[in-house]
Structure 1
Amino acid sequence: MKTHIVIGAGQAGAHAAVSMRRAGFDGRIVLLGDELVHSYERPPLSKSFITELESERIANFFPLSHYLNEKVQVLAGVAAEAIDPAAGAVSLAFGGKIPFDKVILATGSRPRTLSVPGSDRVLTLRTFADAVQIKKAFTSGRKVVCIGAGVIGLELASAAISRGCQATVLEVGDRVMARSLDKAASRTIEAMHRDAGVEFAFGHSVVAVEPHAVVTDVGLRIPADVVVAGIGVDRNVALAQSAGVSVGKGVLTDASGRTNIDCVLAAGEVAEFYSEREGAHVVLETSRHAQMHGTLVGQVAAGQELAYDDVPWFWSDQHGANIQVAGSHRAAGSTVYRGDPLSKSFCAFYLNSQSAVVGAFGLNAGRDVSAALRLIRSGAAADPEILADITITSGKLVSAPRA
Structure 2
Amino acid sequence: MVIVGASVAGVRTAQALRAEGYAGTITMLDAESAEPYDKPPLSKNLLTGAASADDVRLFGEGEAHELEIDLRLGVRAVSLDLGARTVVCESGERFPFSQLVIASGARARRPAWASLTGVFTLRSMADAAAIRERLVPGSTVAIVGAGFIGAELASAAQAAGVQATLIDPLATPLARILGSEVGALLADWHRSKVATEFGVGVTDVSPEAGSLRVTLSDGRRLNADTVLVGIGVELNVEWLLDSPIHLDGGVLCDASGRALDAWGDPVPDVFAVGDVSRWFAPGRGAHVRVEHWTNAVEQSQVVARAVVDPGGAAAHHPSFAVWSDQFGSKIQMSGYTQAEDVVVVIDGERWVALYADGGSLVGVVTVNWPRLQMLARRTIASGGTRDVMVEQAQALREHAAAARPGG
Same fold per superposition (TM over 0.5): yes
Give the equivalent residue in structure 1 for 2:315: 307
Write the letter of the residue equivalent to 1:223.
Answer: N
Task: Give CA-to-partner distance per residue, 1:105-148, whole Å, 9 cap, x none.
Answer: 00111111113597675310000111111111111111100001
- 1:236-385 equivalences under 5 Å are 236-260=236-260, 261-303=267-309, 304-335=312-343, 337=345, 339-340=346-347, 343-353=348-358, 355-384=359-388
Task: Give CA-to-partner distance per residue, 1:154-175, whole Å, 9 cap, x none.
Answer: 1001111111110101111111
- Distance, in Å, in 1 between the alignment partners of 2:186 and 2:121 is 22
- 1:49-128 equivalences under 5 Å are 49-52=46-49, 57-115=54-112, 121-128=118-125
Q: Is the 8 A contact 1:139 1:164 kept in 2?
A: yes
Residues 283-292 or 64-73, more deviating? 64-73
- 1:192-207 equivalences under 5 Å are 192-196=189-193, 198-207=194-203
* Structure with the higher helix share, 1 or 2: 2
The alignment's C-alpha RMSD in Å is 2.2
- SS of the residue aligned with 2:132? helix
Q: 1:299 to 1:119 in 2, by over 3 A?
A: farther
Give the equivalent residue in structure 2 for 1:131: 128
Write the letter of the residue equivalent to 1:286.
Answer: H
The alpha-carbon deviation at position 13 of structure 1 amounts to 0.4
Q: Is the 8 A contact 2:179 2:340 kept in 1?
A: no
The alpha-carbon deviation at position 80 of structure 1 amounts to 1.7
TM-score (ref. length: structure 2): 0.89
- SS of the residue aligned with 1:86? coil
The answer to whether structure 1 residue 178 and structure 2 residue 175 are counterparts is yes
Give the equivalent residue in structure 2 for 1:213: 213
The alpha-carbon deviation at position 356 of structure 1 amounts to 1.1
Instruction: Note the residue ranges of structure 1 that are not aligned, 5 or more in a row.
Output: 395-403
TM-score (ref. length: structure 1): 0.90
Q: Is the 8 A contact 2:175 2:184 kept in 1?
A: no
The alpha-carbon deviation at position 194 of structure 1 amounts to 3.0
How many percent identity over aligned positions?
A: 32
Task: Give CA-to-partner distance per residue, 1:164-198, whole Å, 9 cap, x none.
Answer: 110101111111323322333223333333333x1
- SS of the residue aligned with 1:193? helix
Q: Is the 8 A contact 1:171 1:204 kept in 2?
A: yes
The alpha-carbon deviation at position 282 of structure 1 amounts to 0.7
Give the equivalent residue in structure 2 for 1:161: 158
Write the letter of the residue equivalent to 1:202.
Answer: F
Write the letter of the residue equivalent to 1:350.
Answer: Y
Q: 1:117 to 1:298 in 2, by over 3 A?
A: closer
Residues 91-100 or 109-118, more deviating? 109-118
Write the letter of the residue equivalent to 1:127.
Answer: S
The alpha-carbon deviation at position 393 of structure 1 amounts to 12
Q: 1:117 to 1:111 in 2, by over 3 A?
A: closer
Residues 77-86 or 161-170, more deviating? 77-86
Task: Give CA-to-partner distance per residue, 1:219-243, whole Å, 9 cap, x none.
Answer: 1101111001111111111122222
- Distance, in Å, in 2 between the alignment partners of 1:347 and 1:369 is 8
Give the equivalent residue in structure 2 for 1:397: none
- Distance, in Å, in 2 between the alignment partners of 1:231 and 1:213 is 19
The alpha-carbon deviation at position 334 of structure 1 amounts to 3.8
Give the equivalent residue in structure 2 for 1:37: 34
- Distance, in Å, in 2 between the alignment partners of 1:229 and 1:7 is 27
Task: Give CA-to-partner distance per residue, 1:306-338, whole Å, 9 cap, x none.
Answer: 21103300000001100001112223534252x
Q: Is the 8 A contact 2:333 2:363 kept in 1?
A: yes
Residues 303-312 or 361-370, more deviating? 303-312
Give the equivalent residue in structure 1 for 2:404: none
Q: Is the 8 A contact 2:179 2:339 kept in 1?
A: no
Give the equivalent residue in structure 2 for 1:390: 395
Q: 1:54 to 1:41 in 2, by over 3 A?
A: closer
Q: How many residues align?
A: 386
Q: Is the 8 A contact 1:110 1:236 kept in 2?
A: yes
Q: Is the 8 A contact 1:84 1:90 kept in 2?
A: yes
Q: Is the 8 A contact 1:82 1:242 kept in 2?
A: yes
- Distance, in Å, in 1 between the alignment partners of 2:301 and 2:158 is 37
Q: Is the 8 A contact 1:311 1:376 kept in 2?
A: no
Write the letter of the residue equivalent to 1:240.
Answer: L
- Distance, in Å, in 2 between the alignment partners of 1:381 and 1:102 is 43
Write the letter of the residue equivalent to 1:111.
Answer: A
The alpha-carbon deviation at position 201 of structure 1 amounts to 0.9
Q: Is the 8 A contact 1:110 1:234 kept in 2?
A: yes
Instruction: Note the residue ranges of structure 2 that are not aligned, 5 or more in a row.
Output: 261-266, 400-407
